[in-house]
Structure 1
């Protein structure tokens, strides 16, 4: 029986150190971690790897339920997948285990709270942006892809997939930029 730790934070500028240290102190080995949003399971390769190799009797350990996911359905689907493999989930803070039915009920409620918290965060963000726009100080999000490079590569005959590979972004970002450029 293995205690497999999973740590996640949403952005590159956040630290996983506290989570990893706590998981290590709880005897987790191995510990997988990643910096990616918990909004969905898309792109969460470390979590996918754990779910692929977890075996009967193993335990997936996370510091808090929201580290597993911000969507109640995703969290419950993960618990279901663990059940299918004969494994279980333990949340350290507050201590909850899916070995028994009471833990499943509490986990469901915590998942709902995490989802509600995410909605509140988005609402506060929208309110802050609206206020900043009214005050004339809103500059928008930081651009992750150089639009001029996308147009330059497109002019040389490269397609969206080649541009995305060259710039390290998604094809969808390239399509959005090219679509906006064509409309302008």
Structure 2
């Protein structure tokens, strides 16, 4: 039985190492790290990515697949649902670092199966919705910046994209503002502003080319 971490990064601000460190801090003993670099989870299915295809080839019954969250598998609702269901059919257990979720095909109870599948669908839909919201926010930020190239763009954000992503990830895990402030060196006011208006924060980063 092997424990495999699958990591995916689509921008220069994300790192494979960060996802591995998160997984190990969560208590996972990782045997192998499989990673795809610079690939969108929206337009590219897992099985179509070079290392994603390798993941399908290597996972066997009894293996554990660890991901930071389901959005690392993809940000397309149907692809994520199909991927998780296929791995469960093979006897593979999927575990997430964020929220410590576990998905497997062990239960034969139809009610438990329905609850499990509904949760998978919800998480997959959330991953796609977040991707679409981010894309729209980036587009709005870029258009806003272009339209005001010679005008005042407002105050430069006090956070960078890595700090922004850390705030989002830690809130998703249930961490409080104080813990996030300690981890990111941001003020509570900034952290709460990102939490309460993530699209606006994303647009501000895009406007400043960050």
Query: Scaled by the length of structure 1, what TM-score is found?
Result: 0.66
Q: Which has the higher contact order (CA 8 A, sep 6+)?
A: 2
Aligned equivalent of 2:139: 126
Structure 1 residue 136: deviation in Å? 4.3
**1:96, 1:107 within 8 Å by CA — same for their partners in 2?**
no
3-state SS in 1 of match to 2:54: helix
In structure 2, distance between residues paired with 1:90 and 1:103: 13
3-state SS in 2 of match to 1:19: helix
**Which ranges in structure 1 are unaligned for 5 or more consecutive residues?**
138-184
**Which ranges in structure 2 are unaligned for 5 or more consecutive residues?**
108-112, 151-210
In structure 2, distance between residues paired with 1:21 and 1:132: 35
In structure 1, distance between residues paired with 2:85 and 2:69: 18
Point out 4+ residue stretches in structure 1 off by more than 6 angstroms. Answer: none
Find the structure with the greater CA-based Rg. 1
Q: CA RMSD in A?
A: 2.0
Q: How many residues get paired?
A: 137
Matched, 1:47 2:49: no
In structure 2, distance between residues paired with 1:125 and 1:72: 21
Aligned equivalent of 2:123: 110
User: Cα distance 1:76–1:110, how it changes in 2: closer, same or farther (>3 A)?
Assistant: same
Structure 1 residue 6: deviation in Å? 0.7
In structure 2, distance between residues paired with 1:109 and 1:81: 17
Task: Map 1:153-172; keep pairs closer than 5 Å.
Answer: none
In structure 2, distance between residues paired with 1:103 and 1:80: 11
3-state SS in 1 of match to 2:129: helix
Matched, 1:5 2:5: yes
**1:98, 1:104 within 8 Å by CA — same for their partners in 2?**
no
In structure 2, distance between residues paired with 1:129 and 1:30: 38
